[in-house]
């Protein structure tokens, strides 16, 4: 598996005179492009989908190294991912800092955005204060604010894969574990700051369990696979 594209690509949609930036951030083991697509349609850019409701926006997708299993498993930290994201958001908006911005996050992407906002608050530069003042809303889709039991299972699988020389463990999986102190601290601190900033937040989540079996099996050599009787 090769590492998906990172950073910002070309706008998926851009009005002639946009008054709003919409930035979407994917989760762990995902991709900047296909996370938001189904049957060849990217709902961030398709004319009859998000652009239909936000015709005066510039819509962008952000990518970061997020593979959690295999030879390309990421070894960076949440702190590093958030720091790079904040830097690139500033670069993206250097000529339109007074424009409102909305963030959309899937899964762990929500934690990345929260950590990014906390870093902007800690930096407290004029550029960071301007960015924070122009956040018009946050949309979290399946963000594991209390951690994820799936991340714990993924950690075990990644350890086995590393033992079988199929890759190495991703350090960022530890952050997504249900018992992660870093996750707890990040979410608790963000909740306090979000109230102070009066951020508008909408959260969506699913109740069905996710089967990661097919993903795991694709990384394990046939020599080690156990056939079902």
Dist. CA 28–CA 151, nearest whole Å? 10
Alpha-helix runs per DSSP H in 37-180 = 50-53, 78-92, 109-123, 126-133, 149-163, 173-176
DSSP tag of 24: E
Percentages helix, strand, coil for the chain, rounded to the nearest 5?
40, 20, 45
Q: What is the pLDDT of residues 158-205, one digit of tens each?
A: 444 444 444 555 555 555 565 567 778 888 999 999 999 999 999 987
Q: Which domains does the chain have, with CATH numbers?
A: 7-146+181-209 (3.40.50)
Greater model confidence, 176 or 16: 16
Which pLDDT does position 93 carry in this prediction? Answer: 97
Which pLDDT does position 73 carry in this prediction? Answer: 47
- Across residues 216-229, what is the average pLDDT? 45
Lowest mean pLDDT among 13-22, 69-78, 87-96, 209-218: 209-218
Greater model confidence, 3 or 120: 120
* Segments of 64-153 assigned E as strands: 100-106, 135-141
Greater model confidence, 138 or 66: 138
Mean of all residue pLDDT scores within the chain: 79
Lowest mean pLDDT among 19-23, 62-66, 176-180: 176-180
Q: What is the pLDDT of residues 76-125, one digit of tens each?
A: 678 888 999 999 999 999 999 999 999 999 988 999 999 999 999 999 99
Which pLDDT does position 103 carry in this prediction? Answer: 98
Element (H, E) at 201: strand 201-204
- Across residues 10-22, what is the average pLDDT? 96
Is pLDDT at 38 greater than 60 in this prediction?
yes
Which pLDDT does position 228 carry in this prediction? Answer: 47
Reading the block at residue 68, the tokens are 């959690």
Which pLDDT does position 98 carry in this prediction? Answer: 96
Which pLDDT does position 226 carry in this prediction? Answer: 45
- Across residues 209-216, what is the average pLDDT? 51
Dist. CA 200–CA 196, nearest whole Å? 11
DSSP tag of 172: T
Element (H, E) at 203: strand 201-204
């Amino acid at each position: 598996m090769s590492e998906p594209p990172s950073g910002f690509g070309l706008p998926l949609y851009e009005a002639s005179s946009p008054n709003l930036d919409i930035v979407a951030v994917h989760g762990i083991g995902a991709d900047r492009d296909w996370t938001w697509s189904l049957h060849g349609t990217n709902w961030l850019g398709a004319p009859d989908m998000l652009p239909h409701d936000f015709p005066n926006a510039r819509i962008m997708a952000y990518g970061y190294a997020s593979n959690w299993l295999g030879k390309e498993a990421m070894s960076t930290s949440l702190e590093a991912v958030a720091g790079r994201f904040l830097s690139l958001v500033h670069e993206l908006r250097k000529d339109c800092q007074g424009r409102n911005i909305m963030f959309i996050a899937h899964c762990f992407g929500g934690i990345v955005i929260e950590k990014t906002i906390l870093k902007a608050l800690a930096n407290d530069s004029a550029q960071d204060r301007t960015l924070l003042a122009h956040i018009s809303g946050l949309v979290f889709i399946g963000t594991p604010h209390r951690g994820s039991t799936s991340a714990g299972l993924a950690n075990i699988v990644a350890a086995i894969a590393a033992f079988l020389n199929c890759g190495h463990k991703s350090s960022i999986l530890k952050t997504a574990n249900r018992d992660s102190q870093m996750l707890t601290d990040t979410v608790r601190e963000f909740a306090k700051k979000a109230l102070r900033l009066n951020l508008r937040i909408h959260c969506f989540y699913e109740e069905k369990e996710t089967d990661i079996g097919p993903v795991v099996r694709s990384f394990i050599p046939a020599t080690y696979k156990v056939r079902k009787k």
